[in-house]
């Protein structure tokens, strides 16, 4: 890896590693992503035993109990990726682009629960989750330019969302 600090376009991390600002930023990133998950689950949980239970689902649908733990781990990984992106020494434009994509994918992530579960609309959910897929791919590419480990932290999330896209698409097909 090259020494980015020699490049005049590269700005040092705005946070002192291990300093109070660094720790508070990590806590803020965790709070943000976990809050997004908690609010989205408010749209999801009431629909599971009612509307969602009536849908035909594909054979590869996991038990409902799997989703909560998987999403919790993924939200923590998203938070750490976001934190690493914020604190990485990088060109300001690259960092800004990565953070913009991070925000876009979080909005799409948040919107999916309301589209699919809240609106009881698998077709709208499919549109939103495809937008999430695309924004997440762009997020990983942009984040990689800033901090490769931060980008790699998003790969399991992308894989899970692609799986969720297949589930969503199959639910649309099965429930016409």
CATH for the stretch 16-175: 1.20.1260.100
Residue 88 in contact with residue 146, Cβ under 8 Å? yes
Neighbouring residues of 91: CB distance < 8 A, sequence distance ≥ 6: 7, 9, 10, 11
Domain map of the chain by residue range?
A: 16-175
Residue 92 in contact with residue 142, Cβ under 8 Å? no
- Please tell me the pTM assigned to this model: 0.89
Hey, how many other C-beta atoms are within 10 angstroms of the C-beta on 55?
Answer: 14
Q: What is the pLDDT along the chain (176 residues), one digit of tens a residue?
A: 444 445 556 666 666 667 778 889 999 999 999 999 999 999 999 999 999 999 999 999 999 999 999 999 999 999 999 999 999 888 889 999 999 999 999 999 999 999 999 999 999 999 999 999 999 999 999 999 999 999 999 999 999 999 999 999 999 999 98
């Amino acid at each position: 890896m090259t020494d980015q600090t020699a490049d005049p376009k590269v700005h040092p991390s705005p946070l002192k590693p291990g300093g109070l600002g660094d720790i508070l930023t990590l806590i803020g990133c965790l709070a943000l992503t976990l809050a997004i998950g908690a609010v989205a689950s408010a749209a999801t949980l009431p629909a599971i035993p009612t509307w969602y239970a009536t849908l035909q689902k594909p054979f590869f649908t996991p038990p409902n109990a799997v989703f909560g733990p998987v999403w919790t781990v993924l939200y923590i990984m998203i938070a750490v990726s976001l934190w690493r992106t914020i604190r990485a020494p990088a060109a300001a434009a690259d960092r800004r682009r990565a953070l913009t994509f991070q925000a876009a994918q979080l909005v799409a992530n948040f919107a999916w629960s309301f589209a699919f579960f809240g609106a009881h609309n698998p077709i709208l959910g499919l549109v939103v989750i495809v937008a999430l897929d695309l924004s997440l791919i762009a997020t990983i590419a942009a984040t990689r330019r800033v901090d490769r480990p931060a980008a790699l932290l998003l790969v399991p999330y992308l894989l899970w969302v692609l799986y969720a896209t297949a589930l969503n698409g199959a639910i649309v097909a099965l429930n016409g």
